[in-house]
Amino acid sequence: MRNQAESKGSIKQPQRDIPVYAEVDVMVAGGGPAGIGAALAAARNGASVLLVEQHGYLGGMATVSQVPAFCPYTDQEKPVIRGIGFEILEDMKRRMEEEFQQTWKDRYDWVPIDSEVLKRLLDEKMADAGVRVLYHTFVGDVVHEAGTVQAAILHNKSGTQAVKAKLYVDATSDADITWHAGGQFAKGGEEGELQPGTMCFVLHNLDRSRFLAQAETSGRDLKHAIHKAKAAGELKVAREWAGISWLNAHTAGFNFGHVFGIDGSDADDLSRGAIEGRALVHHIVQWLKGAVPGFEQACLGQTGEQVGIRETRRIVGDYVVTADDFLDCRSFPDDIARNAYFIDIHMAKPTSGMTMVHLPAGQSHGIPYRAMLPVGIDNVIVAGRAISTDRATQGSTRVMPNCFAMGEAAGTAAALLAQSGRTASRRVDMEALQRQLMRQGAWIGEEAQARLKQTAP
């Protein structure tokens, strides 16, 4: 990873006026699951919303990086991710082929993703909700004073523009708005190490029946074949496992291989990750065609637009969710979502090990609203993998279903605040927020749901 502090000098930019592109109640930065949940929730609750996304479509890692499947929505007994995230999952399934619908009916864990179906679905969701979407645009700076963001500075083909909002939802994954506003952060492990990236990919012309007939030899996740190939020096991957998500009998998405030393908040690293990731996919595909029954005629359909990123900045928020909170399945008075996904920390180096810690079936822990509030900043709510956690817990909360839930809570809170004339994120009426999330179908745990029902006005 390059030291971002290194500099080749600087230049002074002349002072200039920046045109205001829009003034809205809520600006959402980032169109991944967290931003999707935030934008839809805010708009459905009556706020004017602008959603800014650096790519030409929504979906985040599911579409940008071709991550082939959604992580579990359930605690192995029931869905804990409901509301907008569950709605999108079910609507995507309804648009898939008949065989897919039958296979995945009433199943909510590791559901394969068709990125093209998802892109179109999300465009329609935003249009129906009245969300204004601005693609091919990223937040390059903010104007802030005394802990308040006064404007977000956008860059795109039209030049440099500003957006003024009452509240900002930072769903950029790397907490870019918070970073530009001077927020406090942690990143990686004790030595700054980060989980590796993965260049996911899609293969066509596969023979699923032939593959499954030989699965005992190769392994359904290719672990036997990978182990043998690594020992023979034929395959250069770190982990002896491949995530394979079948869209139909001839097409599958792959989460396979790692690219090490990539900081997703660094442009040089992202560039190197893309180059090394595509080279690794070529190496893997050539091996698959020669070594795995049913893959002989494989055709590479697509690689991710960027390498998939698991970990960068974590904000320092009003509360830091810890591994003890995870292990003890703690609830909080300001819970806005539940998490049941296991701690899943990928090796930082090819010789490192994996860390995985599972909760018992039926168990989950709360995600408190305070963990989305960056210390020292008043009108920004952070949603997604950059919320305030320790590193171990970030290995659990970071996945897409959780991000949908956190985003929905952030967008709902922002809308409630804007409508009440408040711009300070900490002044939200917590009981009103939790009740509204319940009305929307979100789930914040048995205890909270029961308590709120007992005290219903």
Helices then strands, counting H and E runs in the chain, come out as 14, 17
The 3-state DSSP composition of the chain as helix, strand, coil percent (nearest 5) reads 35, 20, 45
Phi-psi sector, 433: left (phi>0), alpha (psi -120 to 50), beta? alpha
pLDDT at 447: 87
Cβ-contact 298, 285 below 8 angstroms: yes
For the chain, what is the domain count? Answer: 2
Indicate the residue among 303, 333, 349 that finishes a domain: 303
Same domain, 224 and 133: no
For the segment 295-309, the average pLDDT, to the nearest whole number, is: 98
- pLDDT tens for residues 125-145? 999 999 999 999 999 999 999
Same domain, 351 and 386: yes
Average pLDDT, the chain: 96
Return the higher-pLDDT residue of 425 and 346.
425
- The DSSP secondary structure of 77-123, one letter per residue, reads SSBS--HHHHHHHHHHHHTS-HHHHHHHTT--SS-B--HHHHHHHHH
Whether residue 61 is found in the same domain as residue 152:
yes
In DSSP notation, 203-272 reads EES--HHHHHHTHHHH-TTSHHHHHHHHHTT----SSS--EEEEEETTEEEEE---B-S--TT-HHHHHH
Please, which pLDDT band fits residue 345 given cuts at 50, 70 and 90?
A: confident
In degrees, to the nearest 5, what angle opens at C-alpha 205 toward C-alphas 199 and 211? 85
Burial pattern 161-172, b for ≥16 Cβ within 10 A else e, equals bbbebbbbbbbb
Q: Is the pLDDT of residue 351 over 80?
A: no
pLDDT-derived band of residue 6, with 50, 70 and 90 as boundaries?
low
Q: 321 and 185 in one domain? A: yes
pLDDT surpasses 70 at 59: yes
Name the residue with higher pLDDT: 195 or 7: 195
CA-CA distance, 437 to 431, in Å (whole number)? 10
Mean pLDDT of 429-435: 97
Confidence bin at 453 (pLDDT 50/70/90): confident
Q: Which domain holds residue 206?
A: 201-303
Same domain, 422 and 386: yes
Q: Is 201 helix (H, G, I), strand (E, B) or coil?
A: strand
Q: How much is the pLDDT for 163?
A: 98
CB within 8 Å of 408: residues ≥ 6 apart: 37, 38, 40, 41, 83, 84, 85, 337, 437, 440, 442
Q: Measure Cα distances from 407 to 143, 160, 187, 250, 258 in Å.
A: 23, 27, 21, 34, 28
5 — pLDDT class (breaks 50, 70, 90): low
422 phi/psi in degrees, rounded to 5: -105, 145
Residue 356 has pLDDT above 60, yes or no: yes
Q: Are residues 215 and 346 in the same domain?
A: no
Parallel, antiparallel or unpaired: strands 148-156 and 201-204: unpaired
Could you tell me if 316 and 298 lie in one domain? no
Residues 104 and 183 grouped into a single domain: yes
- Do 71 and 178 lie in one domain? The reply is yes
**Once rounded to an integer, what is the mean pLDDT over residues 61-73?**
98
Residue-by-residue DSSP string for 140-180:
EEEEEETTEEEEEEEEETTEEEEEEEEEEEE-SSS-HHHHH
The angle subtended at Cα 221 by Cα 219 and Cα 222, nearest 5°, is: 55
160-170, pLDDT tens digit by residue? 999 999 999 99
pLDDT tens per residue, range 141-157: 999 999 999 999 999 99
pLDDT computed for residue 1 by the predictor: 45
Query: To the nearest whole percent, how much of the chain has pLDDT over 70?
Result: 98
pLDDT score of 315 = 98
333 and 295 in a common domain: no
Please count the CA atoms within 13 angstroms of the CA of 287 that sit on its side-chain side: 23
pLDDT of 2 > 70? The answer is: no
Q: Final residue of a domain: which of 303, 319, 353?
A: 303
Backbone φ and ψ for 135, nearest 5 degrees, come out as -90, 170
Q: What is the CATH number of the domain that holds 449?
A: 3.50.50.60
Same domain, 298 and 324: no
Do residues 71 and 403 make contact, with C-beta atoms less than 8 angstroms apart?
A: no
Distance CA(103)–CA(248), nearest Å, equals: 10
Which is higher by pLDDT, 192 or 3?
192
Over range 45-51, report the average pLDDT.
98
pLDDT, tens digit, 9 for 90 and up, residues 309-341: 999 999 999 999 999 999 999 999 999 999 999
Q: Is residue 4 part of a domain?
A: no
Per-residue pLDDT tens digits for 169-221: 999 999 999 999 999 999 999 888 999 999 999 999 999 999 999 999 999 99
Give tens-digit pLDDT for 271-294. Answer: 999 999 999 999 999 999 999 999
Q: Please tell me whether residues 318 and 404 are part of one structural domain.
A: yes
